[in-house]
Structure 1
Amino acid sequence: MLKAIACFFFLPVLAAHAHAEQIRGNWEVMGTYFSVTLLDTAPSRANDEILGAAFSVVDILDRQMSNYRPDSELSRVNDFAGRGQIQVQANLYEILLTSELFRASSAGAFDVTIGALVDAWGFYSPRTASIPEGGVIARALESVGEGRLKLRAAKRTVELKSGTRLDLGAVAKGYAVDRAIAVLRERGAAAAMVDLGGTVGVIGSKADGEPWSIGIRHPAGNGLIGKIRIARGAVSTSGNYERFFIQDGKRFSHLIDPRTGWPVAGVMSVTVVAPSATTADALSTAAYVRAPQDGIAWLGACDGVKAIAFYPADDDQIRVEFAGAGAEALFELSDADCFVKTESAGMPSSSGAKVTMGSRTTCAVGSVSPPATDQ
């Protein structure tokens, strides 16, 4: 059973906001930690109710969208694959429709029909994760990709082809953070930071008027490799250190390319800053999958999106690539001598010259045509 552990901390802040306090709630949900830090300028308000409302919406989404709950709505949809249409609640329909937009705009690098591949590699049971035998990957690939998921808006139904299994692990946390932020706004919160397993959304500024500071995990060790300071928007990171196994001396991450069926190699992590957590979450996965072949320059075409990617380099160095106007200034890195910089499209080079970008890829949700749906 899910543990929902709520801890509330009231942290006095001596800053620009008179009598302001930072109130923090911590829980366990979606198989990870969930924290909300709220700037309270009216101590008489029922802050525990505000924090509780933010947790409640995330808990509800977990009960709907978890692959690990046999009684979740997502599990029910997966179990119904190959048997026709099944009606779903508005939250699940919305995230599936949004996910189809990301699939189309990322050229298939992001795909929620990937569940059969995740299962084939054993990542639903990490202790048994290993390289699949024989033709297992090829068979799983037959259940993944365009046309395997059909959405019908009129009755809000979902239809999966036989063998197809949905996995929302690359977008559900971002969607939940956005919903929690919306609840906080509805309850009158002017400034807050929401962190769900490293996917972070913020509104407003801290009590001292400064932006929220969000750490970037070092992809090759403990601690942080840098930080980001923002007053609005969201941050999400996809990295090969999250879930992986080592076989024959090679690391195999849970981040699988849905087009090839194999875990992505050659990139360590990608961090994306975007206007919404849903976008940051999905694009960090899509960019991670595409990075070894395409780099992350294509993200520069996304409105309001900035990104940084870390790649292994020679002599224990880390190669860094930026995407999006102003990205290099936004990402504050430590140990600069350990990095080899890669100039990205749309970014000025060290000499001030502009690096020309080839074909610009549309990737923001809402800027691509929605998938075909029956009315």
Structure 2
Amino acid sequence: MPSRILSIFGTRPEAIKMAPLVKQLEASSGIESVVCVTGQHQQMLDQVLDLFEIKPHHNLALMTGNQTLNGLAARLIASLDEVLATVQPDRVLVHGDTTTASAAALAAFHRRIPIGHVEAGLRTGNLMQPWPEEMNRRVVDVMSDLMFAPTASSRANLEQETLHGKIIVTGNTVIDALNLTTARIDNDAALCAELDARLPFLDGALPVLLVTGHRRESFGEGFANICAALAELASTNTVQIVYPVHLNPNVRGPVRESLGHARNVHLIDPLDYLSFVRLMQRASIILTDSGGVQEEAPALGKPVLVMRDVTERPEAVAAGTVRLVGTQCDSIVSAVLGLIEDARQRDEFAHRVNPYGDGHASRRIVAALTGRAVEEFASGGSTGGASGAGHPHAADVARVRFAATVH
């Protein structure tokens, strides 16, 4: 009898990273796949579900205007408890570090349902950066009996904490999603032209600085500094800035007030994932505080400047595929101008090794869930610069130490 696996997610980043895994689960003869979305970010979530043709069995649509974390968590636990009672899964899968992930894991733990944590083991060591994500991922790992770590560094973090679950290094499923999406764009000239036509304001003569910024810990002074840096960069007339502005009013308000009339700054609504990947392909430099972009952009060979003081993705810093620049105006401006003025430095980013995956993370996770032997991912065999995110390579995998089984 197939094992019933319930995948629970609620934000757009979770959906992107869980989508290729859900497709693999659906294709497995040993698994009955059930999907529950919480709607933590309903509008942006729906775009991803449509792109990957995922039809949730349960959609809780819990998002409310100006929701608090405590209010959201309370609604999540109560609603998910009803879903768990109805579905009666053999295992729950959650992803990453969102409020949805921590609430879903706690609800499953209270019902003694085994938990698999996709993207386990990321750490900064500082509960306030990023907040509340650092706390969320730690508590999910404590409750999980299967931890799917994307890298060897993530495994090492988990081993240091002496947790009781089994750890499997899989690579990151975001590279699986990116591979699927870039292949779709690159193999369809009409689609590529259509995506480009959605941004007719781009000037082919100026490098594109793609900006994403939405972290809670940057609200207030941090965003004021970021906006000041972007305004100063725009005034140099050496770069055009494209900023898909997050829907959170704590982001949209300050950004539109500061940059709404700035020359060479294009503030646009959040893009669907397909359009965003195409924009990443066209970008010269990416300035971000997003975790996922730190993984995706290096796979496209793009220089990434991270507007944070610490990152839970130190592999990228060590590999030289991202650089931390903080949220101080001067440091952001200096880092961006340095890359604009130095083409050789930009080219170096394109040829560095992407440490986050080979596009087979979802297959490894499904193999583990069905009790088959797994070949673990080992960073070092794939390079950035291609439109895709790397291909299987003998150096990318190491024989697994165990085969996990579904309870």
- Larger fraction in strand: 1
Both structures adopt the same fold (TM-score exceeding 0.5) = no
- Larger fraction in helix: 2
- The two structures have a TM-score, normalised by structure 2, of 0.30
